Amino acid sequence: MSNPALGLLVFAGLMVLTALVFWQRRGIVARVLRIVRTTERVRIEDALKHLYKGEYYQTPRSIESLAGAIHVSRVQAADLLGRLVESGLARSDGEGTHLTETGREYALRIIRTHRLWERYLADETSVAPVDWHDEAEVREHTLSPPEVERLAARMGLPLFDPHGDPIPTAAGHLPPVTGVALSALTPGDEGTIVHLEDEPREVYERIVTEGLTPLTRVRILSNGAEGVRFLADGRELTLGSVVAAQVTVERRPETTAHVASATLADLRSGEAATVVRISSACQGRQRRRLLDLGLVAGTVVTAELDSPWHDPIGYRIRGALIALRRQQAATVYVDRDPAAVH
């Protein structure tokens, strides 16, 4: 019989080794996969995307910006641009590097795949919002055009990604950009968030933590050195101007007529309220489910049944008693006075 202490030691060693190899994102397998996947083609596709976004948002692009965006050295970035020109995807003139028609088509296809994947991750998976972009960055390079179309069909041919950006059509059509940066608005301005820039990740994380999503309605309170102070769906928030510059708002005054400040989760036991709408933070299956259960504008809901740990809560919705978790209830904006049906 073997020595039990030795056995335990060997076992502990094996566990440590397994963790080192398979740890999510930091493990050896994850690192090796990342290196293997970053092929020449992936670099080229990322560079095309970078150039295209420069044209679309009319921001200047340079070797430095490319190097920063795709995490390579300046020499490699210059080399990469040279190869784009060689293969006819881009051309250089005195002002810089521009995409050719072929290059633009190629870039649009990659952007389409990226945004479809983000839509997929948001609707069909429980991957966290901050991870959508990084996950899609990997997956966008893995599909053939027919596979992309199958994905689109399966998702019900979506038009917008979860950050509010339009998804280019299969034919390469992309509507022009609308809206202005949140940081450029003046006090009293009202509008709807239409786009949240998901790069860089640190800034986007801040936006997600604040609970901002496309279709959130905003009204500017002040805009100065301390940042932008504004109401987002009735909550007061302040964002530094760097972060605020990453949020695009379309001025739509008529949509801000009604701003709710409470959610279903705020209701006391026995209290009734009228649904105003479901937050756009709730998407995909979950949203469709809530709508189908009858949580549409104008529905009167009563918090009826408390559970031993106060989560979930049973709500009376159009005659049926439905249990919702606190986190879901917090995505349904309501008016606490049932008389105030607008």
Partner 1 sequence: MTSASSLIRTGPAKGEGSLGQIGLRRAPSDYLVALAGNPNTGKSTVFNSLTGLRQHTGNWPGKTVTRAEGTYEHAGRRVQLVDLPGTYSLQAASTDEEVARDFVLFGRPDVTVIVVDATRLERNLNLVLQVLEITDRAVVCLNLMDEARRRGIAVDAGALAAELNVPVVATAARHGEGLPALLAAIDGVATGAVRPRPLRVQAFHPDIDEAVETCTAQLTDVWPALPSPRWVALRLLSGDERIEAAVRDGALGGLAADSTGLGAGADARARLLEDALGMRWRLAPTFHDALIEGIYAHAHAIAERCVVDGPRRLKVDLDPALDRMVTSRWLGFPLMLAVLAVVFWITIAGANVPSRLLAHLLIDTVHPALAGVAAMIGTPAWLSGLTLDGVYLATAWVVSVMLPPMAIFFPLFTLLEDSGYLPRVAFNLDPVFRRCGAHGKQALTMCMGFGCNAAGVVATRVIDSPRERLIAIITNTFSLCNGRWPTQILVASIFIGAIVPANLAGLASASAVVGIAVLGIGMMFLSSWFLSRTLLRGEASTFSLELPPYRPPRVLQTLYASLIDRTLIVLWRAIVFAAPAGAVIWLSANIHVGGPSLAEHAVTWLNPFGLLVGLNGVILVAYLVAIPANEIVVPTILMLTVLALGDAGVGRGAGVMFELDSARAVGSLLTAGGWTLLTAVNLLLFSLLHNPCSTTIYTIYKETHSVRWTTVATAMPLLMGFVVCFLVAQVWRLLA
State the CB neighbour count (10 A cutoff) for residue 144: 9
**DSSP labels for 63-103?**
HHHHHHHHT--HHHHHHHHHHHHHTTSEEEETTEEEE-HHH
Q: Considering only 48-56, 78-86, 229-237, 299-307, which stretch makes contact with partner 1 by CB under 8 A?
A: 299-307
Residue with tokens 């910006």: 65
Closest separation in Å from C-beta 86 to partner 1: 36
Cα–Cα distance for residue pair 215/213, rounded to 1 Å:
6
Q: Residue 322 interacts with partner 1 (CB under 8 A)?
A: yes
Q: Which two tokens stand for residue 147?
A: 């596979």
Closest separation in Å from C-beta 328 to partner 1: 6
State the CB neighbour count (10 A cutoff) for residue 128: 10
Q: Residue 306 interacts with partner 1 (CB under 8 A)?
A: yes
Of 76 and 299, nearer to partner 1 (C-beta) is 299
Identify any residues that bridge with 334 across adjacent strands, giving them in sequence order: 262, 275
The correct pick among 79, 101, 124, 205 for binding partner 1 (CB under 8 A) is 124
CB of 221 within 8 A of CB of 230? yes
Q: Residue 297 interacts with partner 1 (CB under 8 A)?
A: yes
User: In the stretch 189-228, what mask flags binding to partner 1 with x, by CB under 8 A?
Assistant: -------------------------xx-------------
Instruction: Enumerate residues 130-159 that contact partner 1 by CB under 8 A.
Output: 153-154, 156-159
End-to-end CA distance of the chain: 79
Q: Residue 13 interacts with partner 1 (CB under 8 A)?
A: no
Residue with tokens 């006819």: 88
Closest separation in Å from C-beta 143 to partner 1: 16
Of 9 and 75, nearer to partner 1 (C-beta) is 9
Q: Residue 308 interacts with partner 1 (CB under 8 A)?
A: yes
**DSSP labels for 180-216?**
EEGGG--TT-EEEEEEE---SHHHHHHHHHTT--TT-
Q: Considering only 78-86, 103-111, 180-188, 300-308, which stretch makes contact with partner 1 by CB under 8 A?
A: 300-308
Residue ranges that bind partner 1, judged by CB under 8 A: 1-2, 4-5, 7-8, 11, 24, 121, 123-127, 153-154, 156-160, 166, 169, 175, 214-215, 277-278, 284-286, 288-294, 296-299, 305-309, 311-312, 314, 317-325, 328
